[in-house]
Structure formats: C-alpha cells, structure tokens
Structure 1
Amino acid sequence: MLSDPFYTLVKVICNLYLFIVLLRLVLQLSRADFYNPISQGVVKATSPLILPLRKVIPAIGRLDTASLVLALGVQLVTVGLVVLLKGASLPPAGYAIYTIAGTLYHLLDLYFWAMLISVILSWVAPDANHPGAMLVRQVTAPLYQTCQRFIPSFGGLDISPIFIFLAISFLKQALMPYSI
C-alpha cells in the first residue's frame, strides 16, 4: 500500500524532468528565443547533465543529440524504476521499446499541451507579449507552417490545429501501451 504514493512520486519527478529536457530539445529545434526567461530556466535546469554529454556527443545539424540522449536516458531510468517498484521484469528489448516509445509519447504530449495553449491564447490574447505566450507561439509555429502547406485557411479561419490535434491524438493512442 505504501508503494503506490512512492511509485506516483517517482513517476511524477522523472516525467517532470523528462518534460523539461524535451522542452529544451523542442526549443532548440524550433529556434525559440534563447533569451526568454522561461528558456533560460529550462537551460539552467538541464545544463548540469547536458553540458558533459555535449563534450562526447556532437550535435547533428539543428538536432541537439545530447538533449535527445538525455531524454532517452531519463525515460530509461523511469522505466527501470517503475519496473523495479512494480516487482516486474523486462527483457532488454522491452526496455528499449518502452524507452523510445515513452519518450515519443511524452514529446507528443508536450506538443499537445503547447497546441492547446496556443489555441486558447489565439482566442483570449492573440497579441500577448508575455514570455510564455511568445514561447508557445515559437514552439508551435513549425507545426502550423507544416500543416498549412497542405490545408488552406477558409476565409481567414485556420483549421490546421484540428488536424494537428487529430494526428497527435492518433499517434499518442498508438504509443499509449508503452508510455510510463
């Protein structure tokens, strides 16, 4: 009975740090403002582990492979702790599948929430200059631009978020059995 709160606490802490690492990866991929206070907070939270990794793992183009490796590492630790706390066991291939699929699931979850915040901000405060609002716009802009190449707007109404939400939801459902 006591393991359930501890299990939940471990999952929350690990997934929160994974979220921050994935946010750093997404901020770099979308070329978000580095001097944004939220970006600076994410960099400070992840630098102690990413900077040593960067000395060993070089970036590939715009992809910060050190952040990606750290995200996979955090997810692997999460999977290992969850398996340990549940008293179960997995083959090595199981750890790899749960690590990769879980990381993708959490990345999609990050984009889902960013998209939701973006849609709500477009209704409530379309021209907000808050650092959080600007960061959400910068993170979601590549998704919108990619989708808008294929789906035109209807008289000023942009329906691309609907298709992005559908794609994210479909992919998350496919990865749901492997998310921890």
Structure 2
Amino acid sequence: MLVTAFQFLLNTLLGLLSLAFLLRFYLQATNAPFRNPLSQMVVAVTDFAVIPMRRAIPSLFRLDTSTFLLAFLTQLLLQFLLQWVNGFPFSLAGNSVYLVIIGLSVLHVANLSMDLFLYAIVAQALLSWVNPHTPIAPALEALTRPIMQPIRRMIPSPNGLDLSPLIAIMTAQLMQILVFAPLEISLMKLF
C-alpha cells in the first residue's frame, strides 16, 4: 500500500513537471504570446531548471532544446524510480534494461505531448463557448493552430460548425489506443 502511494506521488509530481516543461517548449515553438496567465505560470514553474540548462544546451533551429531535454530527463527519472520502487533488480539486469527505460521515457514524452494538445483543444473549445476573449485564448490558439489548421483545410465546416476539434480529439485518442498503448505494453514485457 505504501509502494502504491509512493508510485502515485512520483507519477503525479514528475508527470506534472514533465507536462510543464513540454508546455513551455510547445508554447515557445508555436510562438504563443507570453503575456497571459498560462504562459507566465509555466515560466515561473519551470525557470528553476530551464535557466541553468540553457547555459549548457543551446537552442537548435529556434527550438528550446534544453526545455525539451528537461521533459525527457524528468520522464527518464520517473521511469527509473518507478521500476526501482517496484523492486526491479537493476544490479542483476543487463544493459538492455536501460534502453527499455529510455524507450519508455520517449514514449511517455510523446504521449504527454499528445495529452497536452488534447487538453489545449478541449480548453479552447470550452472557452470559445463560455468566454472567447479570455486572456489565455491567444496562447491556446497559437498552441493548437499547427494541428487544427490542416484539419480545417481538409474538412469543411457545415453551416459554420467547426468539427475540427472533434476530428483532432478522435484522431489523437485513436493514436493513443492503437500506437502508444501497444508500444508501452511491448516495452513493459521486457522487464
């Protein structure tokens, strides 16, 4: 029971930290405005690690690689700690177990990225009904634009009804079910 509680705390704390690093990375990658409460909160939460990491790892192609690397390293630490808490015998296992942990970390970063865009699409859709002029609307618009724009071009809007959020959510969830879940199960079988 104590192990389960510790796993929950690890998943929650390190998962939220990974999500914050990814959100900062994607907000910067999509040129979202940083003068809104969402962006300011993400910067405040992640500055403790991003600022020192930027000194060591430069940006690449105008992408903040240090922030993305921090998201990956957080997931790597999470996967290692979860296996350690479960009593996995690292001293007896070969070096291939570390490749599995790296693979799980990459998979979880991709899955968290998908979740982040899903949350942003749902939040944008809900806010468009309730308060379309909220201060975080421009950041959500910038964040979801790379996904929503191609869908809007391919699928017409019948009578002005925008079906692109529904299509994006269904596609993302299908990818999580058909791609990410089987990959994770395959990787977990290697332990």
Give the Å deviation of 1:77. Answer: 0.5
Corresponding residue SS for 1:155? helix
Counterpart check, 1:156 vs 2:155 = no
Give the Å deviation of 1:168. Answer: 0.8
1:170 counterpart (171, 174, 184): 174
Q: 1:93 maps to what in 2?
A: 99
Q: 2:128 maps to what in 1?
A: 122
1:109 counterpart (76, 98, 115): 115
Give the Å deviation of 1:134. Answer: 3.5
Give the Å deviation of 1:51. Answer: 1.7
Structure-1-length-normalised TM-score: 0.89
Q: Give 2:83's aligned amino acid.
A: V
Indicate the larger mover: 11-20 or 47-56. 47-56
The gaps in structure 1 that reach 5 residues or longer are: none
Q: What is the Cα-based RMSD across aligned positions, in Å?
A: 2.0
The gaps in structure 2 that reach 5 residues or longer are: 91-95
The runs of at least 4 aligned residues of structure 1 exceeding 6 Å deviation read none
Identity %: 31
Q: Give 2:121's aligned amino acid.
A: M
Counterpart check, 1:139 vs 2:143 = yes
Q: 2:93 maps to what in 1?
A: none
Is the 8 Å Cα contact of residues 28 and 62 (structure 1) preserved in structure 2? Answer: no
Give the Å deviation of 1:138. Answer: 2.6
Q: Give 1:102's aligned amino acid.
A: H
Give the Å deviation of 1:38. Answer: 2.3
Give the Å deviation of 1:71. Answer: 0.6
Corresponding residue SS for 1:53? helix
**CA distance in structure 1 between the aligned counterparts of 2:50 and 2:161, rounded to whole angstroms:** 41
Is the 8 Å Cα contact of residues 34 and 139 (structure 2) preserved in structure 1? Answer: no
**CA distance in structure 2 between the aligned counterparts of 1:166 and 1:100, rounded to whole angstroms:** 22
* Structure with greater Cα Rg: 2
Q: Give 1:108's aligned amino acid.
A: M
Is the 8 Å Cα contact of residues 23 and 110 (structure 1) preserved in structure 2? Answer: yes
1:19-53 Cα deviation digits (max 9, x unpaired): 11111011111111112232122112212211222
Q: Give 1:66's aligned amino acid.
A: S
Give the Å deviation of 1:124. Answer: 2.5
Give the Å deviation of 1:135. Answer: 2.5
Is the 8 Å Cα contact of residues 112 and 168 (structure 1) preserved in structure 2? Answer: yes
Give the Å deviation of 1:6. Answer: 1.5
Q: Give 1:37's aligned amino acid.
A: P
Residue-pair matches, total: 178
Structure-2-length-normalised TM-score: 0.84
Q: 2:73 maps to what in 1?
A: 73
Corresponding residue SS for 2:159? coil
